[in-house]
Structure 1
Amino acid sequence: MTFDVDLFVIGAGSGGVRAARFAAGFGARVAVAESRYLGGTCVNVGCVPKKLLVYGAGYADTLNHANDFGWQVGESVFDWPTLIANKNREISRLNGIYKNLLSNSGVTLYEGHARLLDAHTVAINGEQIRAAHILIATGGWPSVPKFPGSELAITSNEAFFLEQLPKRILVVGGGYIAVEFASIFHGLGAQTSLLYRGDLILRGFDQGVREHVRDQLIESGLDVQLNTDIKALAKTADGRLCASLADGRELIVDAVFYGTGRRPMLDSLGLENTGVQLTEHGTIAVDAQYVTAEPSISAIGDVIGDEFGDAGTDAGTGAGTEKATARLQLTPVALAEGMAVARRLFKPDEYRPVNYQLIPTAVFCLPNIGTVGISEEQAVAEGRRVHIFESRFKPMKLSLSSSGERSFMKLIVDAHTDVVLGCHVVGPDAGELVQGIAVAMKAGATKAIFDDTIGIHPTSAEELVTLRSITRTVG
């Protein structure tokens, strides 16, 4: 059987582009299709523009505290259109970089919607292309639960392109997307309420982190409302929105933002023309090597969800009988998976599976969260006996100000082996700090090694190598 290309990648997000570039570098004939924007969610409506907006929101506190350090700052005025225009220019620059990366790698780019006709054929722009292997890397898409008026809500996709900053906005959700955008809107001057149906935000994170972040958001003036939800949305006579809550209250706002979840982007993909199977969550089922139930088709990234390991077939690897493995829907994870697929297909002697242990991550709310390893609750659930080291303090940057913001640091240490199992930080640049800690933990660092490491003074980071007293022992 002859093929036009060795690999056809559907989706030019981070994972898809990485797989395409590496595969081409290994000598494969590669084509990529993208129907929206090069770089995928992360570059266009995710990580990158979000962090640019977080930086913008952070300037509010910087300006407020400047006087404490002797700077006489005049009246500050924030202009949302300027921030969005500058953000758009930067994203356009990055789109060009992604296009050049593909072109310089010898990858053929098709700009349009690709649809599977069978296990080896892709239709795009009126053309049919035969591929020995197909990789689905179409990512995810924001989802809003259905209720009366739900079509009036916006998601992260629309938030990045609002013409004006809403004067009052209601952010719904308790996950990292909702918490980040609540921080953004609040920091930029919008009257912001964070609405969550549960008892505490950031489910899945360490309990200490969750409680500390909740308290810091409230301290910053953000209106945090727990144990309630929206039942209906309706437009008012003046064009605003009336949110009817489960507890009987009504809130009048200019916009309602939903950050309650994402779904796999499988629209009109033609999966029904193949043997690809879906999980009960609607994601593509793959085995431990990202192969679907259709042996010629693989999938990576957000489209395969939080777990993999059961494609419903051997798929050539015997992984259909393996226990599902937890993964994280993060850009660096998709990048690693893209490289793994390229190596498995075209450079098998260099193939190595992605290691999902000790993946560091950050939440860019204000203040930031950085975390790697297990939580205290996970340690207990796993039957471990652990020593907990905790510290709360006012960061030096705010020492001359009246700010009530406090940083939080926590280490979880195995009581028997002394190995550091978890590190959780809330404070300025927490993500930058935890990246280095992740390297040490990946190498198996013990608490004794942390203690023997000389700190950089004066920094917040030195707190992690000067924690001497056990806060408590659990398990």
Structure 2
Amino acid sequence: MPEYDYDLLTIGAGSGGTRASRVAAAHGARVAVAEEYRVGGTCVIRGCVPKKLLVYGAHFAEDLKDAQRFGWRVPENLEFDWKCLQTNVLAEVDRINAAYTTTLETNGAQIIHQRATVTGPNEVTLANGTTKTAKTILVATGARPLLPEFPGAEHGITSNEVFHLDAIPKRVLIAGAGYIANEFAGIFHQLGAHVIVMNRTKDILRGYDLQIRDRLLQISMMKGLDFRFDATFEKIVKREDGCLDVHMTGHDTVTVDCVMYAIGRVPNTDGLGLETVGIGVDDKGAVPVDEQNRTTCPSIFAIGDVTNRIQLTPVAIREGQAFAENQFGKGGASVDYDCVPAACFSHPPIAGVGMTESEARQRLGSVKVYSSDFRPMKNVLAGRDERSLYKMICDGETDRVVGIHMIGPDCPEIIQAAAVCVKAGLTKAQFDSTVALHPTMAEELVLMR
């Protein structure tokens, strides 16, 4: 009889846990995945996938208006049906959830639809009280929205609940200024809501290039979004009619129909039982791991957002793949965290890879910056003044491109190819020697002077 029930027991069936389990099973390992909710994790169920579909839906508000300048006779009294969009988005979530489930089962992994808690170096206890043993345990429980604490905080929602709203609120206050806050600010605004973005500092989208995020702020304000900076919650009072009075420091009280918290995410380690095997967490609740994703307990590993390294789905997938290859395959796999591209699907979107201008000046000293500030062709004919901005950051000594940052239509699609160039260490001269593809926005990457 085998010493353990499984070779690998994964806690959490998000993108990272699913990839690790699928690959391990494909290598012949006996694998089980414990998931208390649905297969797919944050990205598929309540994150990037349904959110991006809402972004697409919201874009039609401007696209339909622009269509008139392109000769289309669009009726004046167009109506938006939130329930239609919501139903179709949630149906797509169900489809991908089923696909993830099928992928695991087809590769031979067993799915245990229960919460699992670590109760030993090679043991977990399920919600029904039964125990399962495994030679290796992988923690891939992801992260959850951070909830603030103040009087009346219970009246707000997070990005988890936003997909299930009965209707688009007429007035919404979004707390935070990161990518989730800016993405949903654009979605709500385009779907007809008055949006207030409240933030405890003056900065939005920290980590992105300053000039790019300043451009986004300028465009957002021009579109009519209302920003309240240097503001913190004092209290929220719910009226008899259901409206919310939001009291904040430094600003007048505002009355809205919905408050959404987008103030950060915290690793899902509470109640996981890691302390029973001597695994501590850092001050943010994340699980510390080494380069092989191993915790301080030799038989327990962790990947993805629960480790709080880079909270991005593709990173979690890379970590899951590397873990499975190293533990059950040929080995030698690693994850390179340098030059990871990132995007915020705001309105318009921004994207970047590599060093920002500020980071480059601090780390390299000698820096050359090239940029292109232009109005996209579509905006010109549509009569929109909204301008795009592309930046290229180069090492002043070697001419190597160390960062590319942009704001404008489709820039997340463009940055993926640009990331390959930055990762490969190409020089500005090599960009310049490439023939432009005209007329496109992407051609600006090889025309910057």
Aligned match of 1:12: 13
Per the TM alignment, residue 126 of structure 1 is displaced from its structure 2 partner at its CA by 3.5
Aligned match of 1:441: 422
Mapped partners of 1:18, 1:262: distance in 2: 22
What secondary structure does 1:399 align onto? helix
Equivalent position amino acid for 2:328 in 1: F
Per the TM alignment, residue 24 of structure 1 is displaced from its structure 2 partner at its CA by 0.8
Equivalent position amino acid for 1:429 in 2: D
Contact 2:188 2:195 in 1 (8 A): yes
Question: TM-score of the superposition, structure 2-length normalised?
Answer: 0.97
Show the 5 A alignment for 1:108-187.
108-124=110-126, 125-187=128-190
Mapped partners of 2:247, 2:219: distance in 1: 27
Mapped partners of 2:146, 2:424: distance in 1: 38
Please, which of 86, 89, 92 is the counterpart of residue 87 of structure 1?
89
Per the TM alignment, residue 117 of structure 1 is displaced from its structure 2 partner at its CA by 1.3
**Deviation digits for residues 196-233 of structure 1, max 9, x if unmatched?**
12112111211111111101111222122222232111
Per the TM alignment, residue 248 of structure 1 is displaced from its structure 2 partner at its CA by 4.6
Contact 1:217 1:224 in 2 (8 A): no
Mapped partners of 1:362, 1:240: distance in 2: 34
What secondary structure does 1:115 align onto? strand
Identify unmatched segments of 5+ residues in structure 2.
Answer: none
Identify unmatched segments of 5+ residues in structure 1.
Answer: 307-327, 469-475
Mapped partners of 1:220, 1:453: distance in 2: 36
Please say which of residues 401-410 and 163-172 is displaced more in the overlay.
Answer: 401-410
Equivalent position amino acid for 1:371 in 2: G
**Deviation digits for residues 383-416 of structure 1, max 9, x if unmatched?**
4311001121111111112222111100001111
Please, which of 416, 429, 434 is the counterpart of residue 453 of structure 1?
434
Equivalent position amino acid for 1:431 in 2: P
What secondary structure does 1:204 align onto? coil
Show the 5 A alignment for 1:286-435.
286-306=289-309, 328-347=310-329, 349-435=330-416
**Deviation digits for residues 230-274 of structure 1, max 9, x if unmatched?**
211110121110000101511000000110011111232121221
Contact 2:369 2:391 in 1 (8 A): yes
Runs of 4+ in structure 1 off by over 3 angstroms are: none
Contact 1:277 1:292 in 2 (8 A): no
What secondary structure does 1:178 align onto? helix
What secondary structure does 2:430 align onto? helix
Question: TM-score of the superposition, structure 1-length normalised?
Answer: 0.92
- Identity among equivalent positions (%) equals 46
What secondary structure does 1:458 align onto? coil
Mapped partners of 2:412, 2:159: distance in 1: 21
Please, which of 230, 236, 240 is the counterpart of residue 239 of structure 2?
236
**Deviation digits for residues 391-443 of structure 1, max 9, x if unmatched?**
21111111112222111100001111111000001011111000001111111
Contact 1:4 1:130 in 2 (8 A): yes
Aligned match of 1:464: 445
Mapped partners of 1:421, 1:35: distance in 2: 42
Contact 2:172 2:259 in 1 (8 A): yes
Mapped partners of 1:371, 1:272: distance in 2: 38
Please, which of 75, 83, 96 is the counterpart of residue 98 of structure 2?
96
Aligned match of 2:54: 53
